[in-house]
Amino acid sequence: MSPSEREIVERITLERTAQKPILEGVGLSKHFGVESGLFQRKKPPVQAVNNVSLSVRKGETLALVGESGSGKSTLGRLLLNLLKPTAGDVIYEGRNLANLPAEKLRQVRRDLQIIFQDPFASLNPRMTVESIIGEPIWLHSEASRSDRQAKVAELLRTVGLAPEHGGRHPHEFSGGQRQRIGIARALASEPRLILGDEPVSALDVSVQAQVVNLLEDLKHQFGLTLVIVAHGLAVIRHMSDRVAVMYLGEIVELAPVNALFETPLHPYTQALMAAVPVSHPDLRRPRPVLGGDMPSPSRPPSGCRFHTRCPHARALCKEVAPVMESVAAERQVACHFWREIANAGAGTLILPTPSAAYSQRLSLFKTHQSLSTESQP
Ligand SMILES: Nc1ncnc2c1ncn2[C@@H]1O[C@H](COP(=O)(O)OP(=O)(O)OP(=O)(O)O)[C@@H](O)[C@H]1O
Ligand code: SF4
Ligand SMILES: [Mg+2]
């Protein structure tokens, strides 16, 4: 094989590997039971995540976005096996975590790490930075004390801190530095995937960019896969490859980041976009502003969960829940009327013909509607 042929084969292999899922959620639900007093009526469970299927590809940065309470953190914790699902499965590297023996699960826990929004709350204030970062090394390997110290010093340098910082406590650092300590601790387990749960939301805007750049650098340096949970879309635009938009425990749109920003298809995504500042006046276009509060996840609305706030809602939306439909390469959306909504506002989008499943649902609904009108006195 000539060097150029080898190069082509290597590139194709790399592209194939990059498309392979490292982690998958299949029909995942998490319903939290609500405690009730002795004589109180039993309250319905909180449907934090409801029947979500999602793949995370090797080497990508996948963002989970949505308003507060939409289920992003719960979905992240389910994927990392930090919460037990009410229903559904988590598949890591093709293996169902529910069937893995304890020893293998411990390895999975090392492979899948998490960093939190508030590093101060997640770092033990009584421990030195060296102990905080060194703990996973101590727990998971038989490294000597000096090896551990050398590894911690290396990790501190990797995240932009100095080895001398190892002797200090978390309160002696700024917010950005504390987040770097959290990242170093996650890296100590030599993970393959890191989930950042709002990793920069608590930081000053100037520091946010530094931490985002650090995560990007580490991703390339260590071949990591990143899942980033974020409230707003501004942060994730610059760092993610794909975006999953969540509303009331469900994914309503999944798309490559540029496609999502250029032509958001779901009315909820369009409303979220209204909150993103646009720099050039030519790029500004009227978009709906999201009104009202999110309904309670204990009593989600019937049909499409977004119908109580959707400016495009019709009778069908109240009755029939839309399913995720493939609408273009790599794009999925859960809305009965996304075609019409896109046609009204998205200009150049090429629209496929309606799927058989969609047409069938629509005709079933129309039949049902005409039958109920006929049966009225
Ligand atoms: N342990 C729990 N017990 C009961 N309800 C919970 C629990 N954890 C989360 N919830 C509820 O589940 C829903 C989803 O919560 P989750 O924290 O996943 O949302 P989120 O999108 O991460 O929100 P935020 O952006 O505020 O962090 C919320 O209504 C929340 O109150
Ligand atoms: S299905 Fe109906 S209510 Fe739901 S987003 Fe689409 S138009 Fe709005
Ligand atoms: Mg959260």
CATH number, position 365: 3.40.50.300
Question: Taking a C-beta distance cutoff of 8 angstroms, is the pair 203, 176 a contact?
Answer: yes
The residue whose C-alpha atom lies closest to atom 13 belonging to ligand 1 is 48
What is the Å distance from ligand 3's center to 1 Cα? 51
Domain end point (choices 240, 273, 306) = 240
- The answer to whether position 39 is within a domain reads no
Instruction: Give the nearest ligand 2 atom to 336 CA.
Output: 1
What is 113-155 written as a DSSP string?
Answer: EEE-S-HHHHS-TTS-HHHHHHHHHHHH----HHHHHHHHHHH
Does 231 contact ligand 1 (Cβ within 6 A)? yes
User: Do residue 224 and residue 326 come from a single domain?
Assistant: no
Do 268 and 336 belong together in one domain? yes
Which of 240, 259, 279 finishes a domain? 240
Best residue among 74, 80, 235 to mutate for probing ligand 1, ranked by most atoms within 8 Å of CB: 74
Do 76 and 221 lie in one domain? The reply is: yes
Q: How far is the CA of 249 from the centre of ligand 3 (A)?
A: 12
Closest CA to 54 of 18, 15, 83, 27: 27
pLDDT at residue 360 in the model? 62
Cα 350 to Cα 13: distance, rounded to the nearest angstrom:
31
Instruction: Select, from the ranges 21-30, 234-243, 291-300, the one with the highest average predicted confidence (pLDDT).
Output: 21-30
Res 287 pLDDT > 70: no
- Do 205 and 299 lie in one domain? The reply is no
The residue type found at 161 is: L
Instruction: Using the predicted structure, report yes or no on whether residue 53 has a pLDDT greater than 90.
Output: yes
Q: Contacts from 299-302 at CB under 8 Å and sequence distance 24+?
A: 299/44, 300/47, 300/50, 300/248, 300/249
Residue 285 predicted with pLDDT over 60: no
Domain assignment of residue 331, yes or no: yes
Identify whether 327 is part of a domain. Answer: yes
Number of independent structural domains in the chain: 2
In this structure, what token pair is assigned to residue 138?
């101590």
**189 and 292 together in one domain:** no
What is residue 114's predicted lDDT score, i.e. its pLDDT?
95
Residues 6+ apart with CB under 8 A from 331: 253, 254, 255, 256, 259, 265
Domain holding 307, by residue range, is 250-374
Closest residue by Cα to residue 269 from 74, 66, 68, 72: 66
Whole-number mean pLDDT of the chain?
84
Lowest mean pLDDT among 116-125, 190-199, 278-287: 278-287
Q: In this structure, are 269 and 295 located in the same domain?
A: yes
Rounded CA separation 286/224 (Å): 38
Q: Which of the listed residues 312, 320, 343, 362 should we mutate to test ligand 2's pocket, taking the one with most ligand atoms within 8 A of CB?
A: 312
Q: Which residues contact 94 (CB under 8 A, 6 or more apart)?
A: none
Q: Whose CA is nearest to atom 16 of ligand 1?
A: 71
Residue 2 in domain: no
Of the three residues 240, 275, 294, the one that is the final residue of a domain is 240
pLDDT band at 95 (very low <50, low <70, confident <90, very high): very high
pLDDT band with cut points at 50, 70 and 90 for residue 142: confident
User: Does residue 68 have its Cβ closer than 6 Å to ligand 1?
Assistant: yes
Judge if pTM exceeds 0.75: yes
CA 306 to centroid of ligand 2, rounded, Å: 6
